[in-house]
Structure 1
Amino acid sequence: MRERIRRLEGLPDPGLAITGFFAEVLYRTLNDPLNRGCLLVNSALEMNAEDEDLRQAVTEELESIRSFFESRLRAFSLQGEAATGIGAKQGAHHLLSILFGIRVLARINPDPECVTDAIGIALNSLGLAPLALCDTH
C-alpha cells in the first residue's frame, strides 16, 4: 500500500492519483478469484480489543491512506478544478469509507457493478475523473 501511495503521489495530476488508486483497487478486487480481500481490511475486521499492537498498526496504515487522499484532494482543489463544496478532509473520510466498503465486499463476493458504481459515485461527487480514464493495471 505504501509503495502504491508513493508512486501515485509522484503523478503531476493529484486528481488522477486518487482515480488511479481506486482503479488499481478495483482491478485487484475484481480479479481475485479467491475473494481474499485486503490484508489491512481483514486485519481490522479480525482485531479484538486486547490486541493493542495490531490496533496501532491498522490505525497507522489507515491514517497513511487518509492522509494521501486528503493531500491529493487539497492539491486538486488548489488547481481550481474542484467546485464540489466538499472539503479535502471530509472528502478523504468519504474515500476511506468507500475503500473499506468495497474491500469488505471483496471478501464476500464482489459484484462488479456494485463496486464500480460505489467508486464512480464517490469520485464524481468530488469532481474527480471517472475510472474509465485511467489504466487499471
Structure 2
Amino acid sequence: MGRPRNFDPDTVVERAMEAFWTHGYANTSPAQLAEATGVGKGSLYHAFGSKRALFDQALDRYDRLGAELAAEILSRPGSTRDCLATFLCGLVDSDLAQPVRRGCLAVNTAMELGGHDPEITRAVRAMQDRVIGALEARIDQGRRDGDVRAGADPRAAAEFLMNTIVGLRVMAKTYDASTLHRVIDTALTSL
C-alpha cells in the first residue's frame, strides 16, 4: 500500500499552471515544478505521471477558468459593447497587473508548441473555439437586442475579436494600458 498523499491535487495543478504560465512548458524544469507546488519531484510524477500530464491538467484548468470568466462577464446585463469592453479590458488589465507580464497561457502555448504538437494544437484550438462561441452568442444577442448593427455577422465578428484578444495578450507583454485600451475601442467600433 502506497503512502497517502499529503497534498491537494487541485492546488498542485493551480500552482503548476502558474509556473508553466510564467516560464512556458519547455522552460519549466521538474525542480521548478517541485518548488512551485511544494511537492517533491518523485511524488509529483507519481501522482501526475509526467511533466506533460501535469501540463495538460494545468492547461485544462486554465481553459475552465477562462470559460467561466467569459460566461460570467458576457452574460451580464448591459449593452453588448459594454460587456465586450469589460471582458477585453479585464484581460488586458489583469495581464498588466502581474509582476511579470506573461500574457495568456493559451496564446503562449500556441506560440511555443502549436503547429508541431497535434494534441496541444487541438487543445488550444478548442479553448479558442469556446471563447469564440461565447463571443458569438453575446454578439448575436446584441443584434437581437438592437445594440449591435443588424447586418453584423456574429461568427465573423467573434472570430475577429478572438484575433484581437490574441494580439492584445501578446501586446500586453510590451505595451501600456492606454495603447491596449485604444486597440479595444477600435475593435469594438466594428460592431
How many residues are treated as equivalent by the alignment? 125
**Which one of the candidate residues 2, 18, 28 is aligned to 2:94?**
28
Query: What's the Cα RMSD here?
Result: 1.8
Q: Which has the higher contact order (CA 8 A, sep 6+)?
A: 1
Asked whether the 8 Å contact 1:41–1:103 carries over to 2, the reply is yes
CA deviation vs aligned residue, 1:9-57 (integer Å, no higher than 9, x gap): 4323361332221121121122223111110110011014341111111
Structure 1 residue ranges, 4+ long, deviating more than 6 angstroms after superposition: none
Larger Rg: 2
Name the CA distance, whole Å, in 2 between partners of 1:84 and 1:32. Answer: 39
**Which one of the candidate residues 176, 180, 187 is aligned to 1:111?**
176
Asked whether the 8 Å contact 2:137–2:154 carries over to 1, the reply is yes
Structure 2 residue 105 is matched with structure 1 residue 39:
yes
Please report the TM-score for the alignment, with normalisation by the length of structure 1.
0.81
Please report the TM-score for the alignment, with normalisation by the length of structure 2.
0.60
CA deviation vs aligned residue, 1:118-137 (integer Å, no higher than 9, x gap): 101111221xxxxxxxxxxx
Structure 1 alignment gaps of length 5 or more: 127-137
Aligned counterpart, 2:84: 18
Q: Identity, % of aligned pairs?
A: 26
- Give the partner amino acid of 2:155: K
- Helix, strand or coil for the counterpart of 2:172? helix
Question: Structure 1 57/27 Cα, relative in aligned 2: closer, same or farther at 3 Å?
Answer: same
**Which one of the candidate residues 55, 69, 72 is aligned to 1:7?**
72
- Give the partner amino acid of 2:68: E
Structure 2 alignment gaps of length 5 or more: 1-65
Aligned counterpart, 1:59: 125
- Give the partner amino acid of 2:178: E
Aligned counterpart, 1:82: 148
Question: Structure 1 51/20 Cα, relative in aligned 2: closer, same or farther at 3 Å?
Answer: same
